[in-house]
Amino acid sequence: MLLYGYVFGSAMRVPGGGDYKDFLMPGMFVMTMAFGFINTATIVVYDATKGVIDRFRSMPMAPSAVVAGRGVTDLVVACAELGILVLTALAMGWRPDGGWGFLAAFGLLLWLRFALIWLGVWLGLIVPNPEAAGGLFAVAFPLTMISSIFVAPQLMPDWLGWIAGWNPISSTAAATRELFGTPVGGGDSWVEQHALLMAGVWPLVLTAVFLPLAVRRFQRLSR
């Protein structure tokens, strides 16, 4: 955040003008929520290799309860992370101007984090060891770079901007910028014009896919 805000910020351009910090800060919040699935996967695979999950399996509880407990814990951690990021952003001069909309923005950020928790749990139950889980960064990094976190999609080559625009991370970034009252760098494509809608739909799709997969994978381990 400090690197992009102070070192690269003066060289970055926002379509239509505006302060780059207003563009950057919501994107950094989204990136932190997106990268959270790596931590989830690492913790889950660590628990699996150290026998923690085996102890849970020996207890009279539903597999879904164990998975849900992981989700609640990660959401609490995500709230703490967001609090630290917001305080840092405020210290750097970022000021939201969306009234009570900032509560909805935080809701969308946690909604994205909630959806990616199940991806992390599923991956954590598949990868063989914590070292392999650390390699998931190589997957997450391109997803955040090819998005609207740091650069508006309309400043990219057309084909790359189209991919970035349909990136679920971009939808949440654009929606939170709007809710924070700093909708700088918005595009003209359908998905960018309906960022609020897509910021709700994408996590719903991810949850519908990966939550059942995570529970099913845990159930298979329990047999």
C-alpha gyration radius of the chain: 18
More confident residue, 159 or 20: 159
Would you say 29 and 82 are in contact if contact means Cβ atoms under 8 Å apart?
yes
d(CA 9, CA 123): 35
Share of the chain above pLDDT 90, in %: 44
* Cα-Cα end-to-end distance for the chain: 45
User: Sorting pLDDT into bands at 50, 70 and 90, what band is 222?
Assistant: low
pLDDT for residue 57: 66
Would you say 94 and 12 are in contact if contact means Cβ atoms under 8 Å apart?
no
Q: Is the pLDDT of residue 143 over 70?
A: yes
Q: Is the pLDDT of residue 122 over 80?
A: yes
pLDDT for residue 163: 93
Q: Is the pLDDT of residue 8 over 60?
A: no
Every domain of the chain and the residues it spans: 25-221
d(CA 161, CA 167): 10
More confident residue, 145 or 111: 111
Average pLDDT of the residues of the chain: 85
pLDDT for residue 65: 75
Would you tell me how many other CB atoms lie within 10 Å of the CB of residue 186?
20
User: Sorting pLDDT into bands at 50, 70 and 90, what band is 63?
Assistant: low
d(CA 178, CA 82): 18
pLDDT for residue 80: 96
More confident residue, 189 or 73: 73
What is the mean pLDDT of the segment spanning 135-160?
88
Does the reported pTM lie above 0.95?
no
What is the mean pLDDT of the segment spanning 124-151?
86
pLDDT for residue 136: 86
What is the mean pLDDT of the segment spanning 191-211?
95
Considering 93-107, 125-139, 191-205, 207-221, the range whose residues carry the highest mean pLDDT is 191-205
Q: Which residue has the tokens 């102890």?
A: 55
Sort 15 into a burial class: Cβ within 10 Å, 0-12 / 13-18 / 19+.
middle
Amino acid, single-letter form, for residue 101? G
